[in-house]
């Protein structure tokens, strides 16, 4: 009997040690996720894709060096295509507008904002973490909001914060009318650049655009300070977040965070192209007010 008990004791000890040595299913899954062979990034098309690809090169090089894997920018044709890519896991990181992030977050709450730019002071944009939606018009068309009643206006993309969501909520509260009832004609251009170009080329009377992109046009000499009149400004909007997809593993996230948030001198080329002074950490909290705005808009009759 003692011999049998001894055998049972030995077998129990062996089984217990085997359980300790064997990786748990969760640990195995986590390790597998961290063995991905590349890092894919998508960027909302605020400007031409060629310009975006050129501007992102210093960031791509930094991330590739920090992670030890190839990094590539995935071309995107619309805001919605970037949202779909980050929600589906087709890309690992996306640089979204605030409203685009909220739309993605509502489809997958695992999506995580982790960094944003600090913007330089500009003619249209105050320095700091925020920008604004602007309503710009040619001076000969209108000198105040009422002068645009019945005129043509261009928005950027239905998923754009400053080029659609905020004008549809905040500006409509100012006029007391939906955009479609205040303006005579509304069109979507697809990007802030196209909206500004349409305004420059007299194809529309007014445009809702990002103050940051207006400053970039001014810095590039495409417009002058008096080319357009600013007829309306939104409340401050926290600037665009970089976000992780829900499938990126913890160790890879930490390497990306460190590469973007530490020793930013090596990213000076990227920051200069964005008229930014640095990159700061962010979380969902910075964009929660926008989520409430979108919920209120959905609930409105």
pLDDT digits (tens, 9 = 90+) for 158-179: 999 999 999 999 999 999 999 9
Q: What is the pLDDT of residue 51?
A: 86
Q: Indicate the range of 1-5, 32-36, 79-83, 91-95 predicted with least confidence.
A: 1-5
Structure tokens belonging to residue 3: 């011999």
Distance CA 289, CA 297 (A): 12
Distance CA 151, CA 158 (A): 20
Structure tokens belonging to residue 224: 């002058």
Is the pLDDT at 181 greater than 50? The verdict is: yes
Task: Give the DSSP H/E element, type plus range, for residue 202.
Answer: none
What percent of the chain has pLDDT above 70?
A: 87
Q: What is the pLDDT of residue 298?
A: 60
Using an 8 Å Cβ cutoff, are 293 and 165 in contact? yes
Segment 267-290 shows an average pLDDT of: 94
Q: What is the pLDDT of residue 301?
A: 52
Using an 8 Å Cβ cutoff, are 231 and 206 in contact? yes
What percent of the chain has pLDDT above 90?
A: 77
Lookup result for tokens 């690809």: 53
| Residue 29 confidence class, pLDDT cut points 50, 70, 90 | very low
Q: What is the pLDDT of residue 26?
A: 37
Is the pLDDT at 194 greater than 50? The verdict is: yes
Task: Please provide the average confidence, as pLDDT, over all residues in the chain.
Answer: 87
Using an 8 Å Cβ cutoff, are 161 and 235 in contact? no
Q: What is the pLDDT of residue 31?
A: 38
Is the pLDDT at 120 greater than 60? The verdict is: yes
Where is pLDDT greater, at 116 or 51?
A: 116
- The answer to whether the pTM exceeds 0.85 is no
Q: What is the pLDDT of residue 267?
A: 94
Please give the C-alpha separations between residue 241 and each of 44, 91, 204, 260, 287, in angstroms, as whole numbers: 11, 15, 30, 13, 9
Beta bridge partners of 135: 208, 232
CB-based contacts of 209: which residues, under 8 Å, 6+ apart? Answer: 133, 134, 136, 156, 162, 163, 192, 195, 196
Strands 152-155 and 206-210: parallel
Q: What is the pLDDT of residue 47?
A: 81
CB-based contacts of 27: which residues, under 8 Å, 6+ apart? Answer: none
**Which domains, ranges and CATH numbers included, belong to the chain?**
37-121+239-299 (3.40.190.10), 133-235 (3.40.190.10)
């Amino acid at each position: 009997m003692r011999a049998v008990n001894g055998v049972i004791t030995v077998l129990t000890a062996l089984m217990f040690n085997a359980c300790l040595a064997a990786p748990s299913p969760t640990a195995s899954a986590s390790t597998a996720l961290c063995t991905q062979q590349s890092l894919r990034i998508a960027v909302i098309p605020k400007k031409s894709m060629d310009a975006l690809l050129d501007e992102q090169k210093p960031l791509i090089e930094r991330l590739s060096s920090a992670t030890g894997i190839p990094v590539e920018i995935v071309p995107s044709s619309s805001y919605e295509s970037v949202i779909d890519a980050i929600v589906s896991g087709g890309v690992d990181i996306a640089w979204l507008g605030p409203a685009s992030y909220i739309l993605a977050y509502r489809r997958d709450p695992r999506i995580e904002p982790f960094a944003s730019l600090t913007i330089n002071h500009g003619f249209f944009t105050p320095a700091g973490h925020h920008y604004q939606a602007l309503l710009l018009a040619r001076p000969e068309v209108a000198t105040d909001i009422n002068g645009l009643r019945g005129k043509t206006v261009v928005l950027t993309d239905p998923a754009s914060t400053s080029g659609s969501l905020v004008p549809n909520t905040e500006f409509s509260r100012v006029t007391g009318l939906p955009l479609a009832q205040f303006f005579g004609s509304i069109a979507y251009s697809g990007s802030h650049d196209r909206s500004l170009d349409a305004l420059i080329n007299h194809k529309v009377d007014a445009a809702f655009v990002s103050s940051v992109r207006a400053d970039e046009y001014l810095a590039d000499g495409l417009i002058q300070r008096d080319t357009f009149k600013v007829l309306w400004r939104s409340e401050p909007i926290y600037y665009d977040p970089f976000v992780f997809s829900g499938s990126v593993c913890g160790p890879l996230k930490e390497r990306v965070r460190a590469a973007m948030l530490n020793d930013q001198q090596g990213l000076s080329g990227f920051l200069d192209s964005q008229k930014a002074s640095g990159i700061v950490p962010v979380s969902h909290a910075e964009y929660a007010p926008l989520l409430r705005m979108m919920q209120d808009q959905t609930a409105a009759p």
